[in-house]
Amino acid sequence: MTKVIVTGGAGFIGSNLTDGLVERGYQVAIIDNLATGSVANIQHLLDSDKVVFAPGSIASLPLLQKLFSGAKYVFHQAALPSVPRSIKNPRLSHNINLTGTFNVLLAARDNGVKKVVYASSSSVYGDTVTLPKTEDMIPNPLSPYAVTKLTGEYYCTVFQKIYGLDTVCLRYFNVYGPRQDPGSEYAAVIPKFIASVLAGKPPVIFGDGEQSRDFTFVRDVVEANILAAESRATGVFNIGRSERVTVNHLTRVLIDLAGNATIRPVHKEPRPGDVKHSLADITRARSFGYNPGYTLEQGLQETFKTFARR
């Protein structure tokens, strides 16, 4: 079996990606320090001879050097997520997201890895008014988190040019789906809103709710990662659905799914670092076969089911 690495493989996206890789016959080595991930996300895989779990941090270069031996691809998902968290603690965001990414690239280079697929973020675009966002736009990061993701992209490009390590940077647009944590104070909007409406509580919207996002179901992100690795693709690619959805519309859909028409959202002041509008141009990603298969409604229904079973 072909060995691959998933950093952050016990996290929301990483565990879903591990599922997809195992289904395709890969042998997966997961590294995760469980700061934001959970063993529960990968418990169903730990008895498989296709999965090895190495508890630890990407801050440990010796651990990465040992684990990456014999790996063909590295899917680098590990990060300290959240714009607000990075504003509150920029040093920690820098150490995990940037120094960790540098370590991953070093270990991949030293072990002859064929390709690194790096999880970047649409936050690198900032609040530019032009929509949709295209990969050739000048970045304008508005938070320490966005800066770390953009700098990680630059490191990927440099390692490819200087050391011949193929890299793909996937700029995720608002990923959601099963296993996303609603409990953190930095939780993304969809799991937080689902938890609220299931409890009969009003979702909290920061701002007027007319800000828009390009919500991307996690299984489409999994497909994008695997296609990017197995193809000849290198460089930077947007990964979204290419559909603009306001937070107000999202809230209405979730309230309908909950079947409780009495719920009304509460509005609060906008948060610093948040962008007003985001929409992906995915033309470039289509070149390696990416084609999002889930509508917003389909993805939300799948996600809602898993939350309702908790």
Residues 187-224 pLDDT 10s: 689 999 999 999 999 999 999 999 999 999 999 999 99
Residue 87 forms part of a structural domain: yes
For 151-197, write each residue's pLDDT tens digit.
999 999 999 999 999 999 999 999 999 999 887 766 689 999 999 99
Q: How confident is the model at residue 83 (pLDDT cuts 50, 70, 90)?
A: confident
In whole angstroms, give the CA distance from residue 10 to residue 57: 12
Residue 276: predicted pLDDT: 87
> Where is average pLDDT lowest: 68-72, 93-97, 185-189, 219-223?
185-189
Q: How confident is the model at residue 9 (pLDDT cuts 50, 70, 90)?
A: very high
Residue 82 forms part of a structural domain: yes
Above 90 in pLDDT, residue 308?
no
Q: How confident is the model at residue 129 (pLDDT cuts 50, 70, 90)?
A: confident
Residue 256 forms part of a structural domain: no
Residue 217: predicted pLDDT: 97
Catalytic annotation present for 145: yes
Residue 211 forms part of a structural domain: no
In whole angstroms, give the CA distance from residue 142 to residue 126: 6
- Mean pLDDT for 62-70 is 98
* Structure token digits, residue 100: 């960790």
Residue 84: predicted pLDDT: 84
User: Up-side HSE of residue 206: CA atoms within 13 Å toward CB?
Assistant: 11
| Cβ neighbours, 10 Å, residue 261 | 8
Kindly report the pTM of this predicted structure. Answer: 0.94
Query: How many domains does one find in the chain?
Result: 1
Residue 228: predicted pLDDT: 98
List 145, 155, 172, 294, catalytic entry: 145
Whole-angstrom CA distances from 304 to 20, 200, 221, 245, 248 are 20, 14, 18, 18, 18
For 45-59, write each residue's pLDDT tens digit.
999 999 999 999 999
For 260-269, write each residue's pLDDT tens digit.
889 999 999 9
Residue 182: predicted pLDDT: 85
Tell me the residue range of the domain where 171 lies: 3-176+216-241+281-293
Mean pLDDT (the chain, rounded)? 94
Residue 194 forms part of a structural domain: no
Residue 257 forms part of a structural domain: no
Above 90 in pLDDT, residue 38?
yes
Whole-angstrom CA distances from 232 to 2, 38, 240, 290 are 17, 33, 20, 13
Share of the chain above pLDDT 90, in %: 86
310: Cβ–Cβ under 8 A, 6 or more apart, which residues?
none
Above 80 in pLDDT, residue 60?
yes
For the chain, the distance separating the N- and C-terminal CA atoms, rounded to the nearest angstrom, is 34
Residue 262 forms part of a structural domain: no
> Where is average pLDDT lowest: 61-65, 153-157, 271-275?
271-275
98: Cβ–Cβ under 8 A, 6 or more apart, which residues?
148, 151, 152
234: domain CATH number is 3.40.50.720
Residue 76 forms part of a structural domain: yes
Query: Could you tell me which residue, 107 or 304, shows the higher pLDDT?
Result: 107
Helix (H) or strand (E) holding 33: none
